[in-house]
């Protein structure tokens, strides 16, 4: 039997991370956090990565259109204690996970890659590469 631990997070870590993501999304969508900045912005919880011991959760967030991202992150960090209590109450895990909020940069990276691929020089190079492979 080969061990597959090095191939990424376990199903349990993924499941708990998704559960935490849903809980946080629900709290933010319903406006349960009494914060003016969070009330004024639509915030998406794009991903939650749990540590192997489930004691830490890295929460990736994106405000709608990327507006006031620093202010949104500051508001989330200010309200971390409340959010941790809510997550702990709703997940019923042995330990309350410490939440760490980070901006989700994956959308920006994807846009940057898309922009690069649309560059005329890159398009020309890609077209010439395709011509080279057809022998």
What pLDDT digit, counting tens, does each position of 41-60 carry?
A: 999 999 999 999 999 999 99
Mean pLDDT, rounded, of the chain: 84
- Rounded Cα gap, residues 57 and 88, in angstroms: 12
pLDDT exceeding 90 applies to what percent of the chain?
A: 56
3-state secondary structure string across 89-113:
HHHCCCCCCEEEEEECCHHHHHHHH
Residue 55 · residue 95 · CB < 8 Å: yes
Q: Is residue 25 a contact partner of residue 76, using CB atoms and an 8 Å limit?
A: no
Domain locations in the chain as residue ranges: 5-104, 106-135
> What are the contacts of 25-31 at 24+ separation with CB within 8 A?
27/83, 27/86
Whether the per-residue pLDDT at 19 is higher than 90: the answer is yes
Instruction: Provide the token pair at 121.
Output: 């020089």
- Could you give the strand order of the β-sheet that contains 98-103, starting from the edge strand earlier in sequence? 43-50, 56-63, 98-103
Tell me the CATH architecture of domain 5-104.
2-Layer Sandwich (3.30)
The residue ranking higher by pLDDT, 58 or 1, is 58
CA distances from 47 to 7, 125, 130 (A): 19, 35, 36
């Amino acid at each position: 039997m080969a061990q597959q631990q090095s191939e990424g997070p376990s199903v349990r870590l993924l499941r708990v991370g998704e559960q935490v993501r849903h809980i946080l999304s629900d709290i933010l969508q319903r406006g349960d956090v009494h914060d003016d900045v969070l009330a004024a912005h639509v915030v998406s919880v794009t991903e939650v990565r749990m540590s192997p011991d489930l004691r830490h959760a890295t929460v990736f967030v994106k405000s709608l259109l990327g507006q006031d991202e620093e202010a949104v992150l500051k508001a989330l960090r200010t309200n971390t204690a409340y959010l941790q209590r809510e997550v702990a109450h709703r997940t019923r895990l042995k330990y309350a996970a410490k939440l760490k909020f980070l901006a989700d940069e994956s959308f920006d990276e994807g846009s940057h890659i898309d922009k690069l691929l649309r560059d005329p020089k890159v398009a020309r190079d890609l077209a010439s590469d395709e011509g080279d492979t057809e022998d």
